[in-house]
Amino acid sequence: MAAKTRPKPDTPDASDRVSRIREGVTAAILEHRLLPGTKLGEDEIGEIYGASRTLVRTALQQLVHEGIVSIEKNRGAFVARPTPADAREVFEARRLIEPTIVDHACDAVSPAWLDRLRRHLAEEREAELRGDARASVRLSGEFHRLVAEISGHSIYLGFLKELIARSSLIILLYRRHDTPACGTDHHAGIVAAIRKRDKAAAREQMLSHLTEIEAELFLKDPAADEMRLADVLGA
């Protein structure tokens, strides 16, 4: 009691201004409102959030570390454009990590968490029903993040946050446009396995879920940015 050295337990990352910027930009990228290659001017963002360039810069640098923004020296910040090689690495990492995460989630899950999962599935279904693609893609990523939170492993959670953010960009860039909706609802199956605490089933369903998502991608090297432009104009 002598040392009340740290009156506030922590400022996790939600209340300060730089986090507001970071989360705002992240949400915009994850919802596919900001497309890969988009210029993220410091003044521009600063004016939107009423912050000086110092804070914007801090936020952008954090996003660089998360892999969804790239900074080119003396040219500025841009929404990242993952290559097909990046995409393969990201999904391989997810196939390695996420089965382990659901495994732990089966151990750590509580009634409160199960309720949270149930509500999340309802949100996802509702977004899909009303055809809100932006909400759908955001919620789809948040589901995986939620499972990682349940697992209670902060390291895995941190890694997965990064992987999910990159996945969102990858799906936007490389998804085959002929695939129906978002496939059947694998998330519900995963939740069912977690509820039953059936680790083997949970791992298996998570793995097949990820495999199926990756199978819907067309990972052919576009050689470079110019290549893409040629494609678009040629069509």
Partner DNA sequence: CAGGCGAAGATTGTATAAAGTTTCGCCTGT
Partner DNA sequence: ACAGGCGAAACTTTATACAATCTTCGCCTG
- Which member of 34, 68, 69, 77 binds DNA (CB under 7 A)? 77
Instruction: Give the nearer residue to its own copies in terms of CB position, either 55 or 194.
Output: 55
Q: Read out DSSP for 69-124?
A: EEEETTTEEEE----HHHHHHHHHHHHHHHHHHHHHHHHH--HHHHHHHHHHHHHH
Distance CA 17, CA 221 (A): 39
69-72 and 39-40 strand pairing: unpaired
Which residues, numbered 120-159, are part of the site for its own copies (CB under 8 A)?
153-156, 159
Sign of CA dihedral 169, 172, 173, 176: positive
Selected from 11, 112, 177, 235, the binder of its own copies by CB under 8 A is 11
* Choice from 16, 23, 115, 231 touching DNA (CB under 7 A): 16
- 14 binding its own copies? (CB under 8 A): no
Among 93, 121, 172, 188, binds its own copies (CB under 8 A): 93
Rounded least distance, CB 34 to DNA, Å: 14
Q: How far apart are CA 91 and CA 159, in angstroms?
A: 12
Tell me how far apart the alpha carbons of residues 97 and 148 are, in angstroms, rounded to a whole number.
Answer: 10
The residue type at 78: F
- Residue ranges that bind DNA, judged by CB under 7 A: 5, 16-18, 39-43, 51-55, 57, 71-77
Which residues of this chain interact with its own copies, rule CB under 8 A? 2-3, 5-6, 11, 16, 58, 61-62, 65, 72-73, 86, 89-90, 92-93, 96-97, 100, 153-156, 159, 163, 225-226
